[in-house]
Amino acid sequence: MSGASLDPFKQLGLSPSLWMDLGSLKARYLQLAASCHPDHETCPDEDQLAGNQTSELASELHQAYGILSRVSSRIKSFLIEYCQADCSPLKIVPEDLGDRFMEVGALLGECDRVLANKPAEDAPELTRVVFMKQGLEKRQHCQALRTAIEEDLLGMEVQLKSYQRRLDADSHEPSCFGPDEVAHLVQLYHRWNFLERWKEQLSQRILEFMI
């Protein structure tokens, strides 16, 4: 498999894009990947395709779909493939996300301390009741903070869609973006990547308090 040289947009026969309709993307992937499946006279679903990779092309298609279906990795691929931008991981959190970083870190730490003392099923009822009360409180805090992060992402989504309209108007030619715009897209990528990861971590804690 070509690995690092894989261009997910070209692999799926798509124009370079920053914002995509996920339904259309999935349909395109299934259409192409079905032809690589042993039983290609029928159209298997996504789970079947993922579990039955039978060729290098099928594996590359699945990898490309995974990259483009996630906003942060799609932006990164676009910037690297078409703008020759440096998207190396940041060693520090962007300054304007500092408060959010501290807020998420503190809440995750509190959740982990509560979860570390999760009682067994045969623990005294009072112990389990106390944990459930603490768990409900932390879960609600996680849900509220996750909602705030989703609002942050919505604000950046507006910016991404604005850039996408530029691409659409210029026949999907990334050269329509100047150096300052590319630099801003790199910053947007890093911010999205951090927020996306924090949202996933909060979602995981919410799930852990529910099971």
The string of pLDDT tens digits covering residues 66-115 is: 999 999 999 999 999 999 999 999 989 999 999 999 999 999 999 999 99
In a domain, residue 90? The reply is no
In a domain, residue 87? The reply is no
Exposure of 62 in the CB half-sphere (CA atoms within 13 A): 20
The string of pLDDT tens digits covering residues 15-49 is: 999 999 999 999 999 999 887 765 554 445 555 44
- For 114, residues 6+ apart whose C-beta sits below 8 A from its C-beta are 131, 134, 135, 138
Q: Are residues 41 and 145 in the same domain?
A: no
In a domain, residue 77? The reply is no
First-last CA distance in the chain: 39
Q: 12 — phi, psi (to 5°)?
A: -100, 5
Q: Are residues 109 and 62 in the same domain?
A: no
Q: Are residues 195 and 113 in the same domain?
A: yes
Q: Are residues 188 and 133 in the same domain?
A: yes
Mean pLDDT of the chain: 89
The one-character DSSP state at 39 is T
57: left (phi over 0), alpha (psi -120 to 50) or beta: alpha
Number of structural domains the chain divides into: 2
The string of pLDDT tens digits covering residues 172-197 is: 999 999 999 999 999 999 999 999 99
Q: Are residues 199 and 110 in the same domain?
A: yes
Q: Are residues 100 and 202 in the same domain?
A: yes
Residue 1 pLDDT greater than 80, yes or no:
no
In a domain, residue 147? The reply is yes
Range(s) of the domain holding residue 23: 3-69
Let me know the angle formed at the C-alpha of 167 by 69 and 33, rounded to the nearest 5 degrees.
Answer: 35
Global pTM value: 0.84
Q: Are residues 170 and 109 in the same domain?
A: yes
